[in-house]
């Protein structure tokens, strides 16, 4: 379908799903045209040495888009994502494609789609390809020595964040209109924050993980990266197997939020601290009540991460035999973190599970008095690639980048990140954390917060 005369050029780096769906449904845009715009942006921006996409599904995507166009012309009712090009982190199985999870040596050809991929397809999503990631999803920084490290579209020379690095870079560059990642300690929210996007980590049980390569059984979640809260809500509903209904935007007047003065506000960079303070002022101006106080349960979270914690123990369980046979083929920084799990005994592991269960109850109790917790998504701006050359700096910055978002994984809460940096500044973001199972309510509140803090 040709662009109509006088229609503005198609731009995707800030396009919301709702705006694109309106254009598709009004025949002002075809699914094939939208897809070709994404494929053109891949051609234009993807660097073979530092890949955003590790595999493109151009042939099948074009067939899917053409089929949607035919159905649209026949006025056949279609799914809620019909015609939208969506990228997938390369740990989601896609039938007939290779799932390698960012590794060069490990791969398996998928016989069927992951369950969330099946749900996306049924809703009419056009799957554009697999995106780059930290090997086996074990880092918040996004570096990959095998496929390269995707550049940050907002901050040249800096990381795009991990582990869903390619997913965020793809959306920020218009190579897809949204992407799906995994989040074990912030791996959706960190790259979203570093690339000026919205990323949502649901309560873990909300989205099924069938056909998804695991890192940590206890902590892995699946979530969307897109340009708005509404975009993420649409994708979340489809992946959860629910019918999407537009949330009524919450009124911030009288809403109560807690800001922990301990743990999550330590060691903030000046730009992040200023953007966070500005966001709080804007929310107060909208009538929100913000309580700044110590939250004792947070000070106990480092106990859950001793010797690598659950992620080390559970990833070592998955990889222990492969590490013996292929250890030299792993990213050394990933291998070192996994091998820490070898030192965690069964008794230690059970202690971790019991402690986590107790802390989850405590967290649910203190959050019950609030509409959510507010904190910077990440304590610092995206580090320069040159800052990560030494192992010591890599380890220090990885822990700092992961610290705040990991709170929601360890306590099995839902959380969303919203960009809050002034135009021209380095990316920073505000995180809203909600109680276990309060996903839809949190998304409604997040829409109001998004509007309040936007520049």
Catalytic residues: 89, 163, 187
CA neighbor of 184 nearest in space, from 315, 273, 57 = 315
Give the span between the Cα atoms of 361 and 342, in whole angstroms: 29
CA neighbor of 307 nearest in space, from 337, 277, 263, 327 = 337
**Helices 58-73 and 31-45, axial angle in degrees (round to 10):** 160
- What tokens does 13 get? 């780096």
CB atoms within 10 A of CB 95: 15
Looking up tokens 């995206």 gives 382
- What tokens does 115 get? 């369950």
């Amino acid at each position: 379908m040709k662009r109509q005369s006088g229609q503005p050029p198609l731009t995707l780096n800030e396009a919301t799903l709702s705006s694109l769906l309106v254009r598709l449904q009004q025949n002002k845009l075809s699914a094939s045209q939208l897809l070709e715009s994404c494929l053109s942006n891949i051609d234009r921006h993807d660097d073979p040495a530092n890949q955003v996409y590790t595999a493109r599904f151009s042939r099948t995507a074009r067939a899917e888009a053409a089929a949607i166009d035919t159905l649209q012309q026949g006025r056949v009712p279609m799914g809620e994502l019909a015609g939208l090009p969506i990228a997938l982190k390369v740990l989601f199985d896609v039938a007939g494609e290779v799932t390698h999870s960012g590794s060069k040596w490990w791969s398996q050809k998928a016989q069927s789609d992951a369950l969330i991929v099946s749900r996306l397809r049924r809703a009419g999503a056009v799957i554009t390809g697999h995106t780059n990631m930290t090997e086996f999803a074990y880092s918040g920084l996004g570096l990959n020595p095998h496929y390269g490290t995707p550049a940050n579209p907002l901050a040249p020379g800096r990381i795009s964040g991990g582990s869903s690095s390619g997913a965020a870079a793809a959306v920020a560059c218009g190579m897809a209109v949204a992407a799906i990642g995994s989040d074990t300690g912030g791996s959706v929210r960190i790259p979203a924050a570093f690339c000026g996007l919205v990323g949502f980590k649901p309560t873990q049980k909300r989205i099924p993980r069938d056909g998804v390569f695991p890192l940590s059984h206890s902590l892995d979640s699946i979530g969307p990266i897109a340009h708005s809260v509404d975009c993420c809500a649409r994708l979340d509903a489809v992946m959860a197997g629910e019918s999407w209904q537009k949330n009524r935007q919450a009124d911030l007047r009288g809403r109560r939020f807690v800001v922990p003065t301990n743990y999550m506000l330590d060691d903030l960079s000046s730009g992040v601290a200023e953007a966070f303070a500005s966001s709080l002022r804007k929310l107060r101006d909208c009538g929100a009540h913000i309580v700044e106080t110590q939250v004792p349960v947070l000070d106990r979270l480092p106990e859950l991460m001793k010797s690598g914690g659950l992620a080390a123990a559970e990833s070592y369980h998955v990889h222990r035999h492969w590490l013996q046979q292929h250890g030299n083929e792993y990213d050394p920084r990933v291998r070192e973190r996994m091998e820490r799990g070898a030192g965690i005994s069964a008794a230690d592991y059970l202690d971790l599970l019991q402690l986590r269960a107790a802390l989850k109850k405590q967290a649910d109790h203190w959050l019950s008095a609030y509409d959510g917790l507010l904190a910077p998504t990440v304590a610092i701006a995206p580090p320069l690639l040159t800052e990560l050359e030494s192992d010591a700096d890599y380890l220090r910055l990885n822990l700092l980048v992961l610290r705040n978002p990991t709170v929601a994984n360890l306590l099995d809460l839902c959380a969303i990140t919203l960009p809050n940096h002034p135009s021209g500044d380095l990316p920073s973001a505000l995180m809203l954390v909600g109680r276990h199972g309060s996903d839809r309510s949190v998304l409604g509140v997040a829409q109001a917060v998004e509007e309040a803090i936007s520049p």
